[in-house]
A = this chain, B = another copy of it.
Amino acid sequence: MAVGGNRLDWFPIDGIELNTLAAGIRYQNREDLLLIRCDPATTAGVFTKSLFAAAPVELGKKHLAKTSPQYFLINSGNANAGVGDAGLDDASTCCLAVSQLAGVRPEAVIPFSTGVIGERLPVVNITNALDALIAELSEDNWLLAAQGIMTTDTRPKITSRQISIDGECITLTGIAKGAGMIQPNMATMLCFIGCDAKVSQETLQDMLRAAADSSLNRITVDSDTSTNDAVVLMATGRSGVDLDQDLEAQTAFQDALTDLMLELAQALVRDGEGATKFVTVQVDGAETNEQALEIAFSVANSPLIKTALFAGDANWGRLAMAVGKVATPFDASRVDLFIGEVCLMRGGIKNPLYEEADGARVMAAEEVLLRVDLNAGDCSETVWTSDLSHEYIKINAEYRT
């Protein structure tokens, strides 16, 4: 299942090549290995805050700190998590194999994994595939790459943005994967973004973190946070626009990056496991952003709200319940609740003008907006989520993470 339209327009990035193939890591004849080659570039990364972070996350962070990466090796089917030092050895072996074939330092290779936790990575399947993988790298393979990193995803997530600065064009293209175990914490599932801007590592890192905070860190499918979340942004500098020298360009780039990542983040939710609805939870009038976010996630993660959404039931009692269970106090007698433009509760009590038929109409749509107004301050936050359906249970009772 998946909700909403599919935009698969995208542009290649000058200086970034990709290739995928089926290495038989968990299933046969399924694309499960992706290699991205990048001309010497500036790279920023944001990784999971899970205390059980996977081996490739640990190793990748070390490599990123040492040198500017040129190769990104990504496998699905196996998370290389929870196997201790052996996982680090396996990830290192893969990086070494790429480095020898490509003639770069091992630190210039960054590993990523996603899939089953607690099983050794089938290193030989990966190293055996590298020759063929490197031979056919191409700037035109972004869509194939988006397909190659899918696990329970039902469709690839890919998008691009172009911005024009003084007659020069900067292009950004990004791919992402993820459908369950989605409540990213300072990162997402796997997300790779390339661009041709010229920019310092520090500026790029700041921009990536800011963009992640208003996109990938604002979504939840099931409140669970992966051990392997990572997002990487590569900047090849080929466009000739130097973001550090041009603050206006930097602002335009930040906007485009955030917009691109928001589209990918929302695509993850639209393809959330078992999703039949795409749900926006907006909290307005809060005293602080933290309060707005606490309420938004309380609503977005409530199983009773998510099952009501699945049923198309405008169950405003559950909405009040999920708003009311947060720890930070607010004045309940000032709260307004809306589904779409329909007001259910005004000043803490049921809106006397509310008609069930209106609620049923807005809940029947594939896209639903739940809005809470605390009428207490000027702070707002928005998060995106999906509903909780039989299909979610089916997928997760049958799939071995």
Contact B51 A393 (CB under 8 A): no
Contact A325 B224 (CB under 8 A): yes
> Which residue of chain B is the closest to A313 with respect to CB atoms?
B400
Cα distance, A310 to B393, chains bound together (Å): 9
Specify which of A50, A225, A324, A326 lies most central, judged by the most chain B CB atoms within 10 Å of its CB: A324
Shortest distance between the CB of A149 and any CB in chain B (Å): 18
Cβ–Cβ < 8 Å partners of A326 in chain B: 51
Given A310-B397, A401-B304, the answer on whether A350 and B118 have CB atoms closer than 8 Å is yes
- Tell me if A340 is interfacial: C-beta within 8 Å of chain B: no
Shortest distance between the CB of A128 and any CB in chain B (Å): 25
- Tell me if A81 is interfacial: C-beta within 8 Å of chain B: yes
- Tell me if A117 is interfacial: C-beta within 8 Å of chain B: yes
- Tell me if A163 is interfacial: C-beta within 8 Å of chain B: no
Contact A318 B390 (CB under 8 A): no
- Tell me if A232 is interfacial: C-beta within 8 Å of chain B: no
A396 contacts which of B304, B317, B329 (Cβ < 8 Å)?
B304
- Tell me if A43 is interfacial: C-beta within 8 Å of chain B: no
Contact B397 A117 (CB under 8 A): no
Contact A227 B323 (CB under 8 A): no
The interface bits of chain A over 170-194 (1 if a CB of B lies within 8 angstroms of the residue's CB, else 0) are: 0000000000110101000000000
Copies in the complex: 2
Cα distance, A112 to B257, chains bound together (Å): 53
Q: Which A residues, 375 to 394, have Cβ-Cβ distances below 8 Å to chain B?
A: 388-390, 392-394
Shortest distance between the CB of A12 and any CB in chain B (Å): 35
Contact B397 A329 (CB under 8 A): no
- Tell me if A99 is interfacial: C-beta within 8 Å of chain B: no
The interface bits of chain A over 328-356 (1 if a CB of B lies within 8 angstroms of the residue's CB, else 0) are: 01101101000000000101111000000
> Which residue of chain B is the closest to A324 with respect to CB atoms?
B52
Contact B313 A397 (CB under 8 A): yes
Given A82-B317, A227-B324, A350-B118, the answer on whether A304 and B390 have CB atoms closer than 8 Å is no
Cβ–Cβ < 8 Å partners of A348 in chain B: 52, 82, 84
Cβ–Cβ < 8 Å partners of A84 in chain B: 333, 347-350
Q: How large is the interface on A (under 10, 10 to 19, 20 to 34, 35 or more residues)?
A: 35 or more
Cα distance, A85 to B222, chains bound together (Å): 36
Shortest distance between the CB of A48 and any CB in chain B (Å): 8
Specify which of A85, A116, A117, A226 lies most central, judged by the most chain B CB atoms within 10 Å of its CB: A117
- Tell me if A252 is interfacial: C-beta within 8 Å of chain B: no
Contact A50 B324 (CB under 8 A): yes
- Tell me if A72 is interfacial: C-beta within 8 Å of chain B: no
Cα distance, A397 to B310, chains bound together (Å): 7
A317 contacts which of B183, B349, B401 (Cβ < 8 Å)?
B401
Given A318-B401, A326-B51, A397-B311, the answer on whether A222 and B81 have CB atoms closer than 8 Å is no
- Tell me if A316 is interfacial: C-beta within 8 Å of chain B: yes
Given A313-B400, A321-B226, A397-B311, the answer on whether A392 and B52 have CB atoms closer than 8 Å is no
Cβ–Cβ < 8 Å partners of A109 in chain B: none
Contact A303 B350 (CB under 8 A): no
Cα distance, A119 to B317, chains bound together (Å): 9
Chain A interface (Cβ < 8 Å from any Cβ of B): 50-53, 79, 81-86, 116-119, 180-181, 183, 185, 222-227, 301-304, 307-308, 310-311, 313, 315-318, 320-326, 329-330, 332-333, 335, 345, 347-350, 388-390, 392-394, 396-398, 400-401
Given contacts A82-B348, A310-B397, 12 further A-B contacts (CB under 8 A): A52-B321, A52-B332, A84-B349, A86-B349, A117-B318, A118-B317, A180-B304, A224-B304, A224-B321, A303-B392, A307-B396, A392-B393
